[in-house]
Amino acid sequence: MTPSIKHSPWPMPLILISLLLVGGVNAIADLKVTRLRCEYLENPLGIDAPHPRLSWILESSQRAQHQTAYQILVASRPEWLEEGRADLWDSGRVRSSQSIQVDYAGRPLVSRQQCHWTVRVWDNDGKPSPWSRPARWEMGLLKPADWQAQWIARTTDTNVSPAPLLRRTFDVNGKLARARAYVCGLGYYELYVNGRKADDALLNPGFTRYDRRALYVTHDLTPLLRDGANALGVILGNGWFNCHTRAVWNFHEAPWRQSPRLLLQLHLEYTDGRQAVLVSDGTWKCAAGPIVFDSIYGGETYDARLEQPGWAGPAFEDSSWQRVQVVPGPGGLLAAQMMPPIRLDRQFKPARITEPKPGVFIVDAGQNLAGMAELRVRGPAGARVQMRYGERLHPDGTLDTRDIEQHVKKLGAAQQHQTDTYILNGRGAERWRSRFTYHGFQYIEVTGFPGRPTLDNFSICFVHSDVPEAGRFECSDPLINRIQRAAQWAFLSNLQGIPTDCPHREKNGWTGDAHLAAEQANFNFLPVTVHAKWITDLGDEQKPGGQLPGIVPTSGWGYSWGNGPAWDSAFLLIPHYAYIYYGDTAMLRRHYDGMKRYVDYLTTRAKDGIVGIGLNDWAPWKTKTEAPITDTAYYYVDTRILAHAARLLGKPSDAAHYEALAASIKEAFNRRFFKPETAQYDNGSQTALSCALYQGLVEPAHKDRVLANLVASVEKANNQIDTGILGAKYLLNALLENGRADVAWRMIARKDQPGWGWWIEQGATTLWEQWSGAESRNHIMFGDVSAWFYKAIAGIVPDPSAPGFKHFFIKPHLLGDLTWARGEYHSIHGPIVSAWKVADGRLHLDLTVPPNTTATVLLPLAGPALENGRPVVQAKGVKLVGNEGGRVRLEVGSGHYRFSGSLGR
């Protein structure tokens, strides 16, 4: 995803202008502007935000560098940019250190507008940097009236199975400057141009509440089209749009359910200025394709004998094909898909293959994941290879799918689940993988294979939303590294256009799971584009009275069970995290009214300030914690987020109102649950105590005693975690934030039950749903432990008062027997590295602070701190502040540092 950060010589006129302005080569700043991004994306097509947000990253070999001003040029043609002719926007020199989330503020952008941009900045001393390498973005179709295309389908019957093929031929007459296809094919589509797939996306477009909003994708077809005859071909899958699997969440009865359909509009621009538009309409032709069955839950059946070679090419003879029908669309808005699509992350060879029964083979991927297998087979025409996917084996080595198919089978015993079938055409070496479904699995039961399969007959495909990697964490304890790895695999397995709970049983956008996993997601990857899209989905599902469902999107299920503040708070928490981690206020702004409706709704449900209407600390070990505690705490947190958003957005009277409400909730919470004599909250469970601490509900005067009770309660439980998914997040963070990371560490770094380490000891390669080991083995809802590794061990902690890591803390904890740890986090301002090791009683910390940011470093040293072997007071970029809570406190500017000092322990 990341382009190389080479610095290309930038066109002469601009360099000359820079030189003239500052009077000579030596006056160029040691700052390089790189990684230009628009709406978090690199050179995106199809942006429909009217004022796209621009960000860049600075590089410098000097310490303590920051930006004092910037200038952005945006031009509608690349050559104009080179000439310094910014017809769309010349921001002029803006005195500001802001290098992220800068709103485009030039001429109003129109549909399909091309925007080429470059940035330069001024450094500490007022010297300008060279201009950045140019980047670009392109607007999508901004108005409903831009769409001339019609929705088309092969049939309107939702029961007819084969995935339709649609095609249209057309001529290109001359040399093309630009060809863009805007495509929404529901449930899923694959676009082919002259027989070649137009991109490497899978399962596009992302799942939405289709009757309220459907996403279109912009394809650059310029390199795929040729002068003369061309053809477009599209295959449509059912996906979530036409879900025929009956299951307890009622997607088979979704209000949006229709047969697969396509909307496509191709804009051609010739080099000589001519333009042409080709649209989906009644002139397209269609036929049934070789995918004879496809279902998001059920799997796919492909009959290779029905293939029509060349069907998506211009020369194909389609006289036997029918004309398509023009049909109604799904009914809602069309919006640009401004997030990375699902892609194939990697393919790998399975670990082993066994034959627990004659002719029944079990392929073991060696890893739990989301995706499918690519089958490689030779055999007679008509041979049927069936692959059933699951994540457990019976003691006899056969596949055990009971846990993951329970909700589907409840409504139809005979329904197929996670099953792909390939019927051979017998024409030699055949290769196939399913297109319109994905599975959660470690094992594949293979039957009907012609002959004896070997490992070479299968390639395991890992498939998920292709969000960039942002972080890496490693330390000297292999168990911790395996937990970290399992969290990453579980998170990616559960990022499929929406954040999901599990990739097999449900594939549902459970709101609670998503917010509990959001901070680790932000450390490990860049999920914010998917989160932003999905928070819009939550907005689309909110009832006028403020209620939210437990799963999003939903067919209508989940408003009366499976929701409640602990889940619904995703609607406020994820935008809030986007603010903290990326300085992003767009989600807060966009959903402000909805958030307000939600908090007001909770107020209508509160009795004496207490809310108790939803799921409680889900999937607990032994001790339960009643919902009013966790619910009321979320009610408080939501109200505070809302009040904060009101301040940010310039709504002081709202802010005052919700601040007062928050104060009253805090009082009510303490009145009801706090026992001043003992400093216990309610039943004194780990969850109750840590909830009060973590959510900021404990009065300062009582903090020490509450903390002591929490530590005592952990010790009473033999230093074992005794919470569900909510408490797991509070507990680790409450201990960390209150100076007892050591207590959290004792729970994490052990291999017995319950705990993450026990899962790993049982062979887990992803995180599980239950401490007991029951049910799903690929859930991310206990995954916040990974964020804790970054915060507690590497010590990389965001500062909410300087969001987007403009300022942050480096406060590593040297826990247990750890001898080293390394955390690397590619913040929106650039890479932060915190790598420490302990040797000979000394701590060594290698630290990278990105230009234009600062950090507060807190080191647990007994003696003086050195930087590169010299007293820190002599080091450029470092200010020694003194001692704080047993740590040396340093304020540092950007740059690379090597701190060391003797340890106090």
Q: What CA–CA distances, in Å, run from 471 to 101, 137, 830? A: 21, 26, 11
Q: How far is the CB of 501 from ligand BGC (least distance, A)?
A: 4
> Got the DSSP string for 140-161?
---SGGG-----EES-S-TT--
The 3 state secondary structure assigned to 664-703 is HHHHHHHHHHEECCCCEECCCCHHHHHHHHHCCCCCHHHH
Q: Which of 391, 513, 631, 722 binds ligand BGC (CB under 6 A)?
A: 513
Is 506 among the residues that bind ligand BGC (CB under 6 A)? yes
Q: For ligand BGC, which is the closer residue by CB, 403 or 659?
A: 403
Is 199 among the residues that bind ligand BGC (CB under 6 A)? no
Is 548 among the residues that bind ligand BGC (CB under 6 A)? no
Q: How far is the CB of 566 from ligand BGC (least distance, A)?
A: 9
Is 404 among the residues that bind ligand BGC (CB under 6 A)? no
For residue 859, list its beta bridge partners.
888
- What b-and-e string marks burial along 401-420, b requiring 16 or more CB atoms within 10 Å of the CB? bebbbebbeeeeeebbbbbb
Alpha carbon distance 772, 774 (integer Å): 5
> Got the DSSP string for 399-467?
EE-HHHHHHHHTT-TT---SEEEEE---SSSEEE--SS--EEEEEEEEES-SS---GGGEEEEEEEE-P
Q: How far is the CB of 513 from ligand BGC (least distance, A)?
A: 5
For residue 119, list its beta bridge partners.
72
Q: For ligand BGC, which is the closer residue by CB, 443 or 557?
A: 557
x/- binding map, residues 524-543, to ligand BGC, per CB under 6 A? --------------------
> Got the DSSP string for 329-367?
--SSEEEE--SPPEEEEEEE--SEEEEEETTEEEEEEEE
x/- binding map, residues 83-102, to ligand BGC, per CB under 6 A? --------------------
Q: How far is the CB of 44 from ligand BGC (least distance, A)?
A: 32
Q: For ligand BGC, which is the closer residue by CB, 573 or 792?
A: 573
Residue count at the site for ligand BGC (CB under 6 A)?
Answer: 11
Q: For ligand BGC, which is the closer residue by CB, 82 or 506?
A: 506
Q: How far is the CB of 733 from ligand BGC (least distance, A)?
A: 20
Alpha carbon distance 797, 136 (integer Å): 33
Alpha carbon distance 512, 519 (integer Å): 13
Q: For ligand BGC, which is the closer residue by CB, 766 or 894?
A: 766
Phi/psi class of residue 473: alpha, beta or left (left: φ > 0; alpha: ψ in -120 to 50)?
beta
Q: At what angle do helices 686-694 and 703-716 cross, to 10 degrees?
A: 150
> Got the DSSP string for 479-511?
HHHHHHHHHHHHHHHTBSSSB-S-TTTT---BH
Is 300 among the residues that bind ligand BGC (CB under 6 A)? no
Token readout for 833 is 């590295």
In the bound complex, which residue of the shown chain has the CB atom lying closest to ligand BGC?
501
Q: For ligand BGC, which is the closer residue by CB, 250 or 603?
A: 250
With 0-12 / 13-18 / 19 or more C-beta atoms within 10 angstroms meaning exposed / middle / buried, residue 900 is buried
Binding positions for ligand BGC, 239-298, rule CB under 6 A: none
Q: Are 812 and 845 in contact (CB under 8 A)?
A: yes
Q: How far is the CB of 521 from ligand BGC (least distance, A)?
A: 15
Q: For ligand BGC, which is the closer residue by CB, 97 or 406?
A: 406
Is 784 among the residues that bind ligand BGC (CB under 6 A)? no
Alpha carbon distance 809, 805 (integer Å): 9
Q: For ligand BGC, which is the closer residue by CB, 499 or 594?
A: 499
Q: For ligand BGC, which is the closer residue by CB, 257 or 507?
A: 507
Q: For ligand BGC, which is the closer residue by CB, 430 or 568?
A: 568
Phi/psi class of residue 151: alpha, beta or left (left: φ > 0; alpha: ψ in -120 to 50)?
beta
Q: How far is the CB of 639 from ligand BGC (least distance, A)?
A: 23
Contacts of 753 (CB under 8 A, 6+ apart): 771, 772
Q: Which window, 166-174, 282-290, 507-515, 805-813, contacts ligand BGC (CB under 6 A)?
A: 507-515
Is 615 among the residues that bind ligand BGC (CB under 6 A)? yes
Rounded (10°) CA dihedral 422, 423, 428, 433 = -20
Alpha carbon distance 783, 182 (integer Å): 37
Q: Which of 749, 781, 787, 861 binds ligand BGC (CB under 6 A)?
A: 781
Q: Of 137, 119, 1, 126, nearest to 57 (Cα)? A: 119
Q: How far is the CB of 551 from ligand BGC (least distance, A)?
A: 8
Is 631 among the residues that bind ligand BGC (CB under 6 A)? no
Binding positions for ligand BGC, 484-503, rule CB under 6 A: 501-502
Q: How far is the CB of 619 from ligand BGC (least distance, A)?
A: 8
Q: How far is the CB of 787 from ligand BGC (least distance, A)?
A: 18
Q: Which helix (H) or strand (E) holds 643?
A: helix 627-648
Q: For ligand BGC, which is the closer residue by CB, 240 or 302?
A: 240
Q: Which window, 276-284, 504-512, 521-529, 813-821, contacts ligand BGC (CB under 6 A)?
A: 504-512
Q: For ligand BGC, which is the closer residue by CB, 99 or 770?
A: 770
Q: What CA–CA distances, in Å, run from 38 to 15, 18, 103, 149, 605? A: 24, 24, 10, 28, 41
Q: How far is the CB of 496 from ligand BGC (least distance, A)?
A: 14
Q: For ligand BGC, which is the closer residue by CB, 474 or 513?
A: 513
Contacts of 905 (CB under 8 A, 6+ apart): 814, 860, 862
Q: Are 766 and 778 in contact (CB under 8 A)?
A: yes
Is 512 among the residues that bind ligand BGC (CB under 6 A)? yes
Alpha carbon distance 346, 367 (integer Å): 13
Alpha carbon distance 470, 462 (integer Å): 19
Q: For ligand BGC, which is the closer residue by CB, 303 or 513?
A: 513
Q: How far is the CB of 590 from ligand BGC (least distance, A)?
A: 25
Q: How far is the CB of 510 from ligand BGC (least distance, A)?
A: 4
Please state, as a whole number, how many other Cβ atoms lie within 10 Å of the Cβ of residue 468: 15
Q: For ligand BGC, which is the closer residue by CB, 435 or 779?
A: 779
Is 568 among the residues that bind ligand BGC (CB under 6 A)? no
Is 510 among the residues that bind ligand BGC (CB under 6 A)? yes
Q: For ligand BGC, which is the closer residue by CB, 183 or 502?
A: 502
Q: For ligand BGC, which is the closer residue by CB, 516 or 888?
A: 516
Q: How far is the CB of 257 from ligand BGC (least distance, A)?
A: 22
Backbone angles phi, psi at 540, to 5 degrees: -65, -25
Q: Are 547 and 597 in contact (CB under 8 A)?
A: no
Q: How far is the CB of 558 from ligand BGC (least distance, A)?
A: 9
Q: Are 432 and 312 in contact (CB under 8 A)?
A: no
x/- binding map, residues 107-146, to ligand BGC, per CB under 6 A? ----------------------------------------
Q: Which window, 183-191, 315-323, 479-487, 509-517, contacts ligand BGC (CB under 6 A)?
A: 509-517
Name the residue type at position 186.
L
Q: How far is the CB of 66 from ligand BGC (least distance, A)?
A: 43
Q: For ligand BGC, which is the closer residue by CB, 59 or 513?
A: 513
Token readout for 892 is 């540092």
Is 562 among the residues that bind ligand BGC (CB under 6 A)? yes
Is 618 among the residues that bind ligand BGC (CB under 6 A)? yes
The residues of the shown chain that bind ligand BGC, judged by CB under 6 A, are 501-502, 506, 510, 512-513, 562, 615, 618, 779, 781
